Structure formats: C-alpha cells, structure tokens
Amino acid sequence: MHKLFHLTHSPIECYFHPSVRDFVVREIPLYEASGAGEHLMIFVRKKELSTFEMVEILSNVLGIKSAQIGYAGLKDKHATTYQYLSIPRTFESRLSACSTILNERGIKVLECRAHTNKLRVGHLKGNSFFMRLKKLTPIEAQKAINALEILKVSGFANYFGSQRFGKDGQNYQEGEKILENLRITRDKKIARFLLSAYQSHLFNLWLLERMRLNKMIESCSPKELVSSAGGYGVLDSVLCDERVVRELKAQEQFFKLLRGDVAVHYPYGKAFVLDDVRAESTRFIQRQISPSGALCGKKLLGAQDVALEIERVFVDSRLREVGSRRYAWVWAQDVAYTYKPEVAQMELSFSLPKGSYATIFLETLKNAHH
C-alpha cells in the first residue's frame, strides 16, 4: 500500500535487512511478576521464530496445550526478540529440564517468576528496538540525523506495518472473503487473525486519507482548496467549507484535528470525542492526547461531526469482532544513534508504544514513498 509521510526531505538511501544481528526487539512489560500465584511468567530470547512458532515449540516440548501459553504481543520473526510469556506453574520443573532442547530450537529462557494471572495480548507498555542501517553514505547519514531530530519532537503517522498483512500482503483480502462467506475457516484463531488484518487495512486506508488532508492543508491556501472542492473524493465534505479549512490551517501541528474526532489520552487512557478543537490541539502538541482511527467492529466509539464524514467510508459494519480505537499519531522515545562512516552504517535505537511498528518509524525516516 502507498503511504504518505509528513517529512519533506528527499528519500534517504540506505539498506536495512531484518536479521538476528541487525534487528533486536525487547518488550517493555506492563507489570512485574508478582512472585506468587498459579502461573509462571517467563522472560525469553528467541531468534528466527515468529511468536506463533515459538508457542508451538513450547507446546510440543513441554507437553502443554498452546491455549495455556500466554503472551502480550506478537514479535518479529527475522530478529532477536526478548519477550514475556506465561505458562501454568505446574510445568516449572519440566521447563528447567527442557532448557537445552529449547535452546537448540532458538528459545533461551532468561528468567522465570511466579505470577497470579495468565499474560494476555496487550499486557505490555511498548517495545524498544535496535536497528542497524547499512550502505549509508555520510551525506545520507546527515539527512537521517536531521530527520531523526525532527521525529523526536514531531511524532509520526502510526500505520500498520507490512508484517501485519502476511508474506504477499494479501491477508486482509482473505479476511474480507470470510465476511463475504467466500472462505470458510474452521480454525477460529486463523479466522480472527485474518479479520484483524482486514480491520488493519481499513485503518491504514483511513490514515492515508487523513495524511492526504494534512498535506493539502499545509501546502495550499483555504481559497485554493475550497475552489477545487468536488475533486477530492472522500475529503470533499471537509474541504468544501472555508470556515473548517481555516480552522484546520490555524492548528500548529502537522496532523490536523477535526471536530468529532475520537482522541485517546496518551500514552494510554480513555477515548473521548473532540469538541473544542483549538484547546485539544494544544494538548495534542503536548503529547497528552492523540487522535485515533477506528478498528471497526461492534461496541466501537465512532467519530462524529466532520470527522465522521471521512471515517464512515472506512467502517465495515459486517465486522462482528469487538471494535476499538488505534492511535493515528505516536511518538518514539529514547531515540539514539551512532554513525560509523568507516563501515557506512548507523546503529539506531528507540522505543515505541505497544502496537506501533519499528518498520513504519524507519519508512517515515527514509521518506520513501511506495
């Protein structure tokens, strides 16, 4: 899918290939293990394994049902990743007896502690990342450093990364086929996974339209925009009203808030519908709130007013999964980098809130439009 980014520099040429040496992901837990309880919280390091593959190996080696293994998030396959899992505590001695076998399969258990509950998806604060960028000339490196300094302050558009959509990028189409009864999937886990890929695809399409709106507001005068209304597709309803366009133009931040947008307290908290856009724009700049897009489904808190005109195009009412909101805009923290001109490489580290993709941060940095 084509994406739009907010930075304006020419594309940065460099090479990044996810591998165990050049890509390291470390989960930031939501809470520490309690030290007591019927579950065991395990901190593991895995290499060249998806989370699903790791769960399957643990299930086979320990003789435990995969449904009894808890995890907080899905981690990249082509990387060295550190993440938390939970298993019933009754398997503690079996786990220590099998450490060599697990090691051989790419899973190293680093620590175990008793805990009161099973880990659930989403029980994490975020992730920290290390990336090694290669074939980066000194000129391109300087462009990257300038862009990173801007990104530290500005934040970036929170697209779903291509990993979300499978090897060929078509998972969302399979999800849509399930809704149209063109595909029957007996495995509920796979069906849910494909449907959530479709939810993610709709979110990305919505975010692309909002980024298109932001770009136009930044680069054109209200008069120019209003006089061309009728050719903007989804955005026509917003851009035909000069008063709305002037309100948007007055906002200082790149991602413009619309009346009726659903914002969420940042980095976690409750969702609410925006009313006073000017006041909320200040809170957005201060990183207290962020606008959100729909992961459509039942019980969704939907946008209202002007924001609804755009959102409704990307809401599929056939989705019966529970709907939720996803930040449209996020900020990287702890951004640090070292450039090594003798090998034309940059070592880059940063952390992101849960559900945000390091690959999207990198695509934003490179500003390569595909």
pLDDT tens digits in sequence order for the chain, 370 residues long: 889 999 999 999 999 999 999 999 999 998 898 999 999 999 999 999 999 999 999 999 999 999 999 999 989 899 999 999 999 999 999 999 999 999 999 999 999 999 999 999 888 999 999 999 999 999 999 999 999 999 999 999 999 998 888 878 889 998 899 888 888 888 887 888 899 999 999 999 999 999 999 999 999 999 998 888 778 888 988 888 889 999 999 999 999 999 999 999 998 889 999 999 999 999 999 999 999 999 999 989 999 999 999 999 999 999 988 899 999 999 999 999 999 999 999 999 999 999 999 999 999 999 986 5
Catalytic residue among 22, 76, 236, 261: 76
223: which 2 tokens? 């008069």
Whether residues 116 and 263 fall in one domain: no
In a domain, 143, yes or no: no
Q: Produce one character per residue of 86-101: b if its CB has 16 or more CB atoms within 10 Å, e if not.
A: bbbbebeeebeebeee
Whether residues 212 and 322 fall in one domain: yes
In a domain, 250, yes or no: yes
Whether residues 179 and 243 fall in one domain: yes
CATH code, domain with 219: 3.30.2340.10
Whether residues 231 and 323 fall in one domain: yes
Cα distance between residue 249 and residue 49, in whole Å: 47
Whether residues 222 and 290 fall in one domain: yes
Reported as a single tens digit per residue, the pLDDT across 63-88 is 999 999 999 998 989 999 999 999 99
Whether residues 232 and 312 fall in one domain: yes
CATH code, domain with 93: 3.30.2350.20
Whether residues 252 and 300 fall in one domain: yes
Whether residues 162 and 232 fall in one domain: yes
Report how many domains make up the chain.
Answer: 2
Which domain covers residue 261, as residue numbers?
157-330
Reported as a single tens digit per residue, the pLDDT across 329-354 is 999 999 999 999 999 999 999 999 99
Domain boundary residue, one of 124, 147, 172: 124
Whether residues 168 and 31 fall in one domain: no
Whether residues 95 and 174 fall in one domain: no
pTM over 0.75: yes
Whether residues 213 and 267 fall in one domain: yes
CA 285 to chain centroid: 20
76 labelled catalytic: yes
